[in-house]
Amino acid sequence: MPLSSLFSTPAQLAEKDTLPILRALIARYTDEQPFAGLLVAFSHILVRNSLAVAEALAAGGAELVLSDAHRSPASAVVEAELAAAGVRVLPLAEAAQAADIFVDVNAVLGRVRTPRAAAEVTRTGVLHYTHIGCPVVSADDCRSKLIEGFFGTGDGFVRAWQQLRPDDALQGKQAVQFGYGKIGRGVARRARAAGLQVTVVDASLSARQRAAAEGFVALDSAARAELQAALAPADIVISVTGQPGLHSRLLPPAWLRAGRPVLVSLGAEDEYGPAFTEDEVLGGTRVPLNFHLAQPTLNRYVDPPLAAHVMALEAWARQPEAYAPGIHALPPEMDRWILTEWRRAWPDENLEGIGEELGLEGNLGRLTSKCGITNRRD
């Protein structure tokens, strides 16, 4: 039974109803076939919304190689459906050898083998690809990715906490959050909305200034005495820095254990490091907390970066000669198309704190049916 048989199951059709941007890409790619002739290794976590990404690639003509690169409790249902359909999911190393184009997450495929080209969607992955030496189109720095970070990850933190600790309310707890970048900023705001008192820790002066301006107590990660004092009464420690192993080297691990707080990781890699055991971190050190959810990020927030990831590959596929080895941004016309489609689908989303960065505040912007890229490959 082919992979395409899973794209039209009732559960998958219901999933696509909440992914209007990916649906639009599937429809366009079916006609335009931008990925015809490409053999693509796919490293997304295998959940329902990532199956819609796979459908977009397949609709565009790609032959897909699925990998088990990001195993998670959330992937069990879809992995079982793939197995029942006889669709192979390859071990990571085997998948990286089986294709020469990667749709990668956290550069897990690229760290095994250098591809002909890759599309990447994470900051950690982009940092790895700077040393790999192939053309990479990144969806990480586009404005569309801000939607997931600002709204989605924080919401996922709250939902995952409620799932794993249903009898332990967040309201009234004290949290110390390490990291106030584009994702951490949204996490802190959503945690505060859930009733947490949040102290932000960041090495960047500009990040601390922004956190303070947005109503948080903000500490320098080098201010050791202040950090020890803040950690002592903390009920929760949240890490969203993007720095693997940070907490095994930044501070004495005993400081994080002093008040017996719940440790939370929302990073793509283990941010606590070897000084902390798997059972000391809620949900484990190797899986971001929200990845324990059947829907790690709500589709209204993850639809834009998922679409951006596919379109990053589209940009390369339409003009491969234009992309030298190195990191390339998603073309701005593609980014703008995603943003306007998202705002059209979710016109009531409160954009306070992010609307200006998205270029959507008070203005839907000009809605277009095309992204500005040549419609067909020559």
**CATH number, domain at 220?**
3.40.50.720
Calculate mean pLDDT across residues 127-147: 96
Q: Supply the pLDDT for residue 361.
A: 65
pLDDT score recorded for residue 362: 56
Check whether residue 212 and residue 268 sit in a common domain.
yes
Number of domains in the chain: 2
In the numeric block, the tokens 């907490």 are attached to 247
The per-residue pLDDT for 72 is 77
How many residues appear in the chain? 378
Instruction: Give 258-294 pLDDT, tens digit per residue.
Output: 999 999 999 878 999 999 999 999 999 988 999 888 7
Q: Identify whether residues 259 and 308 lie together within a single domain.
A: no
Regarding whether 64 and 24 lie in a shared domain, the answer is yes
Whether residues 108 and 182 share a domain: the answer is no
Q: How far apart are the C-alpha atoms of 122 and 132, rounded to whole Å?
A: 15
- Asked whether residue 291 is assigned to any structural domain, the reply reads no
Cα separation, 323 vs 114, in Å, equals 15
Are 108 and 237 part of one and the same domain? Answer: no
Give the span between the Cα atoms of 278 and 285, in whole angstroms.
5
Nearest Cα to Cα of residue 23 among 345, 327, 372: 345
* 116, 124 contact by CB (below 8 A): no
Check whether residue 44 and residue 110 sit in a common domain: yes
**Within a domain: residue 324?**
yes
Q: Where are the alpha helices (DSSP H) in the chain?
A: 10-16, 20-32, 48-59, 76-84, 92-98, 123-129, 143-147, 153-164, 184-193, 205-213, 224-231, 253-257, 299-318, 332-345, 355-358
CATH assignment of the domain containing 27: 3.40.50.1480
Residue owning tokens 């639009």? 24
Residue 368 in any domain: the answer is no
Same domain, 277 and 354: no
| Residue 13 and residue 130 in one domain | yes
Q: Is residue 154 part of a domain?
A: no
Is 107 a member of any domain? yes
Residues 6+ apart with CB under 8 A from 321: none
Does 256 share its domain with 223? yes
**Whole-structure pTM value:** 0.83
Containing structural domain, residue 255: 166-281
In a domain, 211, yes or no: yes
Contacts of 65 (CB under 8 A, 6+ apart): 39, 40, 41, 42, 90, 95, 98, 99
pLDDT class of 363 with cuts at 50, 70, 90:
very low
CA-to-CA distance for 294 and 10, rounded, in angstroms? 17
% pLDDT > 90, the chain: 86
